Chain A
Amino acid sequence: MRLFFVYIVALSWQFFVLLFCTIVSAQEASERSFVITDLKLAVTTSDSVRKLTESVVYPSSLDKPIELSQGDNFKIIFTVQDKGTKKGIQPHQSMLILSSNQTGNQIPVIVTVRDGGKARAELDMKSAPEDLLSSPGSYSLNLIIGTFSHNNPIDYHIGTVNIDVPYTSSVPIKYGPKPEIHHIFKPDQKLPSIIISYSFVIIVLSPWLFLIGAWIRLGVNVSFLISEPRSLPAIISFLFTLLAIEILFYNYWTHLNIFQTLSWLSGLSILAFLLGQKALSDVQEWRLKGLR
């Protein structure tokens, strides 16, 4: 019977202890947080040369950026412990986040945490995410640790990482204003100087000197005009039709079109033909008379 009593007491004690523990732990839950110890970083190149080994004390950050180039292997190990119990724990979220300082992109690296709180993460540049390999630049390296039972998660800035890979990214299309474009006009055709033009005008006009000189030497006269007044109207009007045709050509150059010109020209040429025949037969008559 006594044994039975003891048994009951022991049970109930255990029960109370358990109950107490539960209450305590529940109370503590609102205050529980983590601590990170023994944080070590290492960078190994592709030919297994250790480029960098550092150990950092939480919560301080590395001063120098970590350089990662193609083929490098980046490792980080640490221990995560409950701050109160100093026991290793396994948080729900334990990630290294690389967030680009240029674009704000975030790339996670999962940290594996074992039972004892030993955590280990690795970033192999040979098999790194595409996002990382296509956009080089400086990234900030943060360690985030959080879990449901602990309400003081850690967002620990470890340092900065410079990713040195060839730039291969294609910029995605984004809607927005584009730079202005202005058309470059072909330069106007260069004209030779006006002086050349005028000097050629003079050259073109120079034969007039010879013509007039020759005429004067040969003794040009208008004697038929005086001696044969009868044929004067025909000659003058013939010459005027010729002049009219030339004026028509000038007008064609300035404003008439080919059809207007041709219709005018057909009229004028008939007139010129008739008057010309009259005038020239008069001339023939003079010749036949031996006047010429």
Chain B
Amino acid sequence: MVLGLDVQNQAALLKVVILGLISFVAIASRLFSIIRFESVIHEFDPWFNYRATRYLVSTSFYEFWNWFDERSWYPLGRVVGGTVFPGLMVTSATIYNILHALNFSVDIRNICVLLAPTFSAFTAISAYLLTAEIKDSSAGLLAAAFIGIAPGYISRSVAGSYDNEGIAIFLLMFTFYLWIKGLKEGSAFYGALTALFYFYMVAAWGGYVFIINLIPLHAFVLILMGRFSSRLYVAYSSFYVLGTLMSMQIPFVGFQPTRTSEHMAALGIFGILQIIAFVELVRSHLASNQFQILFKSFIIFSFVAMFSALVLLTFGGYIAPWTGRFYSLWDTGYAKKYIPIIASVSEHQPTAWPSFFFDLQMLIFLFPAGIYLCFRELRDEHVFVILYGITASYFAGVMVRLMLTLTPIVCVTAAVAVSRLLDIYLDVDNLETERSVDRPESDNKDNKDKDNKDNKGKHKKLKEGTSRSSLIQSNQSKIFGIKGFDTRAIVLMNFYFFLVIFVWHCTWVTSNAYSSPSIVLASRRPDGSQFIIDDFREAYYWLRKNTDYNSKVMSWWDYGYQIAGMADRTTLVDNNTWNNTHIATVGKAMASSEEVAYQIMRRHDVDYVLVIFGGLLGYSGDDINKFLWMIRIAEGVYPDEVKEGNFFTSRGEYRVDDEATPTMRNSIMYKMSYHNYNELFGGQGQDRVRSARLPSEKIKLSTLEEAYTTENWIVRIYKVKELDNLGRSLEHAAAFNSGKKRRRTKTSKKKSTKNG
């Protein structure tokens, strides 16, 4: 008796305390970036989310819902309300409003910065709940600890990384927990709760499609395994009907659940479940041999009918076929060929093998062990874990960013494996006691479940299955029991060491790889002191303070959200790549000569052009390196005017030095990047990214003039000149201003006086 509590309450208290500590660690390990830099929004997309949240907080919910943003995608504008997942913004705004109602005047920025760490604590708790459903609460605690610090998840949820994924992983885990719970108990209440959190997930992240495919897959596999039950029927039907109806309330999703292929599986399973339920009803009233024939023919008929209906509707255009992003999940080369705009994003590239280890460390080795253990038991929820594990690991292999969906299940299975190992090795009692401690718990649970439901024939199989597996288990433990203290100690010490190394690795990765805000760069001086490169913010604040509020800034789409968020100026394209043509137009302007680009810029009322140039500092993520993507995207829309081949030398090289092609040298991107660069060196400039020596001739710009260049030359801003006041071409006017007098249009005539 500790603290006057019995053992059960002590365990409960301990669990709460441990979970609390895990939550604390999960939050704390994500705060590196705040401590290193400052409380600032990171990267690209978070800037839009932050801006949208500010809009939501400063206006009203319905204003946000119908927000037409005229300051992006100029002049087309963007229907933000209809093209955004509002869950994240609404969550922050709700927190903000609650805090302000309680008179905590917290700045909205800090809420946004700290939202992802906070939700990572919730994720840890829901991982605990899920794993506790799958194995037991000690495995749950391990899973919570793993997910709390796994780098694969931290990469998307450090403080300041204010993105959909930050809350979506929590919702994913919690929805799955509720689904397992609902399935286990056959409860419409839990089914409805699943639907509610599914709705929240739909509102928060496009990855909800994973849920709406994985749960039907789970249901389908269970049916195939002959495990149809009224519990499945109740849980799935209540989830699907409510979840679909609710998800359709999000404008961005709209009628997709009834009209796109991604959602058809869920609908199909729903139909199959109804049929099976009906068949079960019929079976209870018919003789079994009659029934077999009827059943088979009915199933075949309905499957054929549904499938052909689906095909017909797809060809008829009522159901949209799979979108490009989904094709790229099957064929990794697809995007590169057909949709360069998707391929150009680095996080859409296939994952490199080392990154699995980098993001998950030892968990990736324990993952198969956990899956194996799930196979050993193979209750309904284990089937789910297996399916989740298989699909997620495939997707994670295809696309880097989907590593995020793999991480939770890896944590869960690894926790199952480790917990199983510890169960065996840490139990100091003899085998008999081990069995008596271990077995009754799970049996009780099973029995309880069965007591709750009316126990019909269809459960027999399941029961047999579990009892058989438990029989094997007990037999095994009899044969392979470990009794020696030294043997146990070696294995346990080993695993203790692994766990310590894991924590150490996670902390190291978080601190070194995932805590950079990417709008502020840090490097080291030769003497080892830190050197902060703050060019981006310098440039954006220059724009904010020195240009007209209605100025339009043209840049490559990567910087659109940041310009809108930090500089508060209108942009032409941004990271929401909804209009490929508009992006291609900007790409075309960048890849064209001054005359062509000037026409485009005038047409789009561009006042400033912003380019990122890393040549001085060796910052490799600059626009010249991204330039080929701009050309490719532009070529996709304007194949006659932009040609990728013209930017490569005859030997197929992409050069910026003396051998650069004329098209390359005439493109305004090249000119803007290297304008006045030679002068900095007093001769030929040296590009440190591409380690090339620039051509020695001076780069002349007549339609653009340099407005601002940041300290390390990373951001260069150019002003687009007005038309010449006197109607000359700008090239001409610039030549005149630099002292060149125009020559006579016609060749000077010679006057000869003839002798008369």
Does A touch B (CB under 8 Å) in the complex? yes
Residues of A within 8 A of B (CB): 90, 257-259
User: Is B62 in the interface zone, CB < 8 Å from A?
Assistant: yes
CA distance A241 to B62 in the complex (A): 29
A258 to B, closest residue via Cβ: B61
Question: Which residues of B52-79 have CB atoms within 8 Å of chain A's CB atoms?
Answer: 61-62
Give 5 CB contacts A-B under 8 Å. A90-B754, A90-B756, A257-B62, A258-B61, A259-B61
Residues of B close to A90: CB separation below 8 A = 754, 756
The smallest beta-carbon distance between A112 and chain B, in angstroms, is 11
Residues of A close to B62: CB separation below 8 A = 257
The smallest beta-carbon distance between A202 and chain B, in angstroms, is 24
Residues of A close to B754: CB separation below 8 A = 90
Residues of B close to A258: CB separation below 8 A = 61
The smallest beta-carbon distance between A114 and chain B, in angstroms, is 10
CA distance A170 to B756 in the complex (A): 44
Q: Mark B58-102, 1 if CB is under 8 A from A, else 0.
A: 000110000000000000000000000000000000000000000
Question: Which residues of B729-756 have CB atoms within 8 Å of chain A's CB atoms?
Answer: 754, 756
B62 to A, closest residue via Cβ: A257
Residues of B close to A259: CB separation below 8 A = 61
CA distance A257 to B66 in the complex (A): 13
Residues of B within 8 A of A (CB): 61-62, 754, 756
The smallest beta-carbon distance between B60 and chain A, in angstroms, is 9
The smallest beta-carbon distance between A189 and chain B, in angstroms, is 14
CA distance A90 to B754 in the complex (A): 11
CA distance A259 to B61 in the complex (A): 10
CA distance A242 to B756 in the complex (A): 120
CA distance A259 to B756 in the complex (A): 104
B754 to A, closest residue via Cβ: A90
Residues of A close to B61: CB separation below 8 A = 258-259
CA distance A251 to B552 in the complex (A): 44
The smallest beta-carbon distance between A185 and chain B, in angstroms, is 18
Closest 5 CB pairs of A and B: A257-B62, A259-B61, A90-B756, A90-B754, A258-B61
CA distance A200 to B235 in the complex (A): 32
The smallest beta-carbon distance between B59 and chain A, in angstroms, is 14
The smallest beta-carbon distance between B159 and chain A, in angstroms, is 31
CA distance A257 to B62 in the complex (A): 9
The smallest beta-carbon distance between A7 and chain B, in angstroms, is 31
A257 to B, closest residue via Cβ: B62
Residues of B close to A257: CB separation below 8 A = 62
The smallest beta-carbon distance between B354 and chain A, in angstroms, is 48
The smallest beta-carbon distance between B723 and chain A, in angstroms, is 12
CA distance A258 to B61 in the complex (A): 10
CA distance A259 to B62 in the complex (A): 10
The smallest beta-carbon distance between B442 and chain A, in angstroms, is 36
A259 to B, closest residue via Cβ: B61
CA distance A34 to B285 in the complex (A): 127
The smallest beta-carbon distance between A95 and chain B, in angstroms, is 15
The smallest beta-carbon distance between A265 and chain B, in angstroms, is 15
A173 to B, closest residue via Cβ: B727
CA distance A139 to B61 in the complex (A): 72
CA distance A257 to B64 in the complex (A): 14
B756 to A, closest residue via Cβ: A90
B727 to A, closest residue via Cβ: A173
Residues of A close to B756: CB separation below 8 A = 90
The smallest beta-carbon distance between B126 and chain A, in angstroms, is 25
The smallest beta-carbon distance between B251 and chain A, in angstroms, is 13
The smallest beta-carbon distance between A38 and chain B, in angstroms, is 23
The smallest beta-carbon distance between B90 and chain A, in angstroms, is 11
CA distance A229 to B666 in the complex (A): 94
CA distance A155 to B150 in the complex (A): 98
CA distance A37 to B62 in the complex (A): 92
The smallest beta-carbon distance between A211 and chain B, in angstroms, is 20
CA distance A257 to B65 in the complex (A): 12
The smallest beta-carbon distance between A35 and chain B, in angstroms, is 21
The smallest beta-carbon distance between A193 and chain B, in angstroms, is 20
The smallest beta-carbon distance between B753 and chain A, in angstroms, is 12
The smallest beta-carbon distance between A256 and chain B, in angstroms, is 12
CA distance A70 to B756 in the complex (A): 38
The smallest beta-carbon distance between B596 and chain A, in angstroms, is 17
CA distance A90 to B62 in the complex (A): 90
The smallest beta-carbon distance between A253 and chain B, in angstroms, is 13
CA distance A103 to B754 in the complex (A): 36
CA distance A48 to B755 in the complex (A): 36
B61 to A, closest residue via Cβ: A259
The smallest beta-carbon distance between A57 and chain B, in angstroms, is 30
CA distance A258 to B62 in the complex (A): 10
The smallest beta-carbon distance between A91 and chain B, in angstroms, is 12
B249 to A, closest residue via Cβ: A258
The smallest beta-carbon distance between B703 and chain A, in angstroms, is 19
CA distance A187 to B756 in the complex (A): 81
CA distance A258 to B64 in the complex (A): 14
CA distance A257 to B61 in the complex (A): 10
The smallest beta-carbon distance between B67 and chain A, in angstroms, is 16
The smallest beta-carbon distance between B755 and chain A, in angstroms, is 11
The smallest beta-carbon distance between B746 and chain A, in angstroms, is 10
CA distance A74 to B323 in the complex (A): 67
CA distance A90 to B753 in the complex (A): 13
CA distance A259 to B90 in the complex (A): 13
The smallest beta-carbon distance between A117 and chain B, in angstroms, is 14
CA distance A1 to B693 in the complex (A): 101
The smallest beta-carbon distance between A267 and chain B, in angstroms, is 20
The smallest beta-carbon distance between B169 and chain A, in angstroms, is 27
